[in-house]
């Protein structure tokens, strides 16, 4: 497996690590998304301990407004974080 493929698999595994409800391995509820963000992205996303921030992130990601974030919806967050990290590297 290449380094990039390994990292992609890692993102999938992190998602599954937090989608822990029995029978719901492909969606995150707000509590699970908050745990993922606060534990896995504490230096990347600001104000993650603020519930209003978590609510806004969740609302923005939950495109179909079903009260859950699917992996496809979660990838939007990953993409945004990657773009920001890329932009910040070029500012240094």
The per-residue pLDDT string of the chain (92 residues; one tens digit each, 9 = 90 and over) reads: 999 999 999 999 999 999 987 666 789 999 999 999 999 998 888 877 788 989 999 999 999 999 999 999 999 999 999 999 899 898 87
Partnered with residue 28 across adjacent β-strands are 69
- Residue 90 structure tokens: 């070029």
* C-alpha 55, offset from chain centre: 13
CATH of domain 3-91: 1.10.238.10
Domain borders along the chain are: 3-91
Answer whether 0.85 is exceeded by the pTM: yes
Give the C-alpha distances (Å, rounded to integers) separating 58 from 4, 6, 43.
27, 27, 18
Instruction: Please state, as a whole number, how many other Cβ atoms lie within 10 Å of the Cβ of residue 62.
Output: 19
């Amino acid at each position: 497996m290449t380094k990039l493929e390994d990292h992609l698999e890692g993102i999938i595994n992190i998602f599954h690590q937090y989608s822990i409800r029995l029978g719901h391995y492909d969606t995150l509820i707000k509590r699970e998304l908050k745990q993922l963000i606060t534990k896995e992205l504490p230096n990347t996303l600001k104000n993650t301990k603020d519930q209003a921030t978590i609510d806004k992130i969740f609302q923005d990601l939950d495109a179909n407004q079903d009260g859950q974030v699917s992996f496809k919806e979660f990838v939007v967050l990953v993409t945004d974080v990657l773009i920001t990290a890329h932009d910040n590297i070029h500012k240094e």
